């Protein structure tokens, strides 16, 4: 399977540190955050480590925060880290295999073992189900489990998802490990959503199995809060994912004080800059349903009032 190549658009050399450059960088950050690691680096699924390193060096040279305008170093650093994350994962054979499992990029089983090829369908089915059971005993948890299931299902079609779901305690084991992954310190906050989505697509769990769990709901809220700080576009995609699962309603999420505060803070920050970025930011958050037009106008009035008071003191 070949991943469509994603090439970040050149910044067209806008004035260094300008509002135009900030807007383009912000859009790029949102775009690459939502790309898988292959598309992020602009390489195919079957690319080699040297080709991955070459693609990464090119990105690193363009987006490294050193020698960038001070007011843009933070966003350059965040973009650079995203490229570093992709490169570090894809050049590590074990991590790349796990990552491929989460994405669903898998090769069918090719069993060259002579004895295995002499198996009857019933024997092969039993052996493959045992592989899945063994994956449940590994310390790696969900990553190896998902990989094993997806490889088995894309093989000779000896077993089905119904066969897997009949295994003793498989659903309970998955739910337990979802909780474990959520509670891990330093776990990638953007990744657990992808893991849950993969499990839902495979059919191991249903939305009803997890949307009532306090751990999942609390994590979803943190995931949404985190995404809101990266801009309204990523916020909406993350919010809509969790709404689709049934963890919360759109109205509940939009009404969270932290989300509203983030939106208002972004609008006020952009208002202090030249250009029309404020109007764009305001319109997007209003359209997303997080704030009302009246709330956005209050910010404008408050900022202008403070500026007027400062001018009077001069």
Pick 8 or 298 by higher pLDDT: 298
Structural domain boundaries of the chain?
A: 1-91, 102-206, 211-314
CA-closest candidate to residue 262, choices 304, 308, 224: 224
Confidence bin at 130 (pLDDT 50/70/90): confident
How many of the other CB atoms lie within 10 Å of CB of 33?
A: 18
**3-12, 77-86, 88-97: least confident range:** 3-12
Percent of the chain with pLDDT over 90: 14
DSSP string, the chain: --PPP--PPP---PPTT-HHHHHHHHHHHHHHHTS-HHHHHT--TT--HHHHHHHHHHHHHHH-STTS-GGGHHHHHHHHHHHHHHHHHHTSHHHHHHHHHHHT--PPP----HHHHT--HHHHHHHHHHHHHHHHHSTTTHHHHHHHHHHHHTSS--S-HHHHHTSTTHHHHHHHHHHHHHHSTT--TTHHHHHHHHHHHHTSS-HHHHTT-HHHHHHHHHHHHHHHTT-HHHHHHHHHHHHHHTSS-HHHHHT-HHHHHHHHHHHHHHHTSSSSHHHHHHHHHHHTTSS-HHHHHHHHHHHHHHHHHHHHH-
Residue 159 CA to its chain's centroid (Å): 31
Confidence bin at 56 (pLDDT 50/70/90): very high
How many of the other CB atoms lie within 10 Å of CB of 143?
A: 20
How many of the other CB atoms lie within 10 Å of CB of 18?
A: 16
pLDDT confidence of residue 45: 82
The CATH classification number of 1-91 equals 1.10.287
Confidence bin at 112 (pLDDT 50/70/90): very low
**32-46, 52-66, 198-212: least confident range:** 32-46
**Is residue 224 within 8 Å of residue 239, measured between CB atoms?**
yes
Q: What is the mean pLDDT of residues 211-224?
A: 88
> What are the pLDDT digits (tens) for 64-80?
888 888 888 888 888 99
CA-closest candidate to residue 26, choices 291, 266, 285, 261: 266
**Is residue 196 within 8 Å of residue 178, measured between CB atoms?**
yes
> Is pLDDT at 140 greater than 70 in this prediction?
no
**243-257, 277-291, 294-308: least confident range:** 294-308
Per the prediction, the chain carries an average pLDDT of 78
pLDDT confidence of residue 103: 66
Q: What is the mean pLDDT of residues 266-289?
A: 79
pLDDT confidence of residue 122: 84
Phi, psi (deg, nearest 5) at residue 266: -65, -40
The CATH classification number of 211-314 equals 1.20.58
Q: What is the mean pLDDT of residues 243-262?
A: 90
pLDDT confidence of residue 67: 81
Greatest mean pLDDT range, 98-102, 144-148, 155-159: 144-148
pTM: 0.59
Report d(CA 128, CA 174) in Å as an integer: 18
Pick 270 or 203 by higher pLDDT: 203
């Amino acid at each position: 399977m070949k991943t469509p190549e994603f090439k970040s658009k050149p910044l067209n050399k806008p004035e260094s540190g300008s509002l135009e450059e900030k807007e383009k960088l912000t859009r790029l950050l949102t775009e690459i955050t939502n790309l898988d690691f292959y598309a992020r680096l602009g390489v195919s699924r079957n690319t080699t480590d040297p080709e991955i390193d070459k693609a990464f060096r090119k990105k690193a040279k363009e987006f490294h925060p050193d020698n960038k305008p001070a007011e843009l170093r933070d966003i350059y650093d965040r973009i650079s880290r995203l490229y570093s994350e992709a490169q570090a994962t894809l050049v590590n054979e074990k991590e790349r295999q796990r990552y491929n499992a989460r994405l669903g990029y898998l090769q069918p089983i090719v069993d060259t073992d002579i004895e295995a090829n002499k198996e009857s369908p019933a024997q092969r089915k039993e052996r493959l189900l045992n592989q899945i059971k063994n994956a449940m005993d590994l310390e790696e948890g969900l990553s190896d489990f998902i990989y094993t299931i997806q490889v088995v299902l894309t093989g000779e079609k000896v077993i089905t998802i119904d066969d897997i779901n009949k295994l003793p305690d498989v659903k309970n084991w998955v739910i337990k490990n979802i909780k474990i992954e959520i509670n891990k310190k330093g776990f990638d906050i953007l990744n657990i959503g992808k893991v849950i989505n993969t499990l839902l697509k495979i059919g191991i769990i249903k939305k009803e199995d997890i949307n009532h769990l306090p751990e999942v709901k609390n994590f979803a809220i943190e995931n949404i809060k985190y995404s809101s700080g990266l801009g309204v576009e990523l916020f909406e995609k993350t919010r809509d994912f969790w709404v689709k699962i049934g963890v919360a309603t759109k109205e509940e999420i939009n009404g969270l004080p932290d989300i509203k505060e983030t939106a208002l803070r972004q609008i006020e920050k952009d208002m202090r800059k030249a250009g029309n970025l404020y109007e764009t930011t305001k319109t997007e958050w209003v359209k997303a349903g997080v704030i009302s037009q009246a709330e956005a106008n209050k910010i404008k009035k408050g900022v202008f009032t403070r500026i007027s008071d400062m001018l009077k003191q001069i």
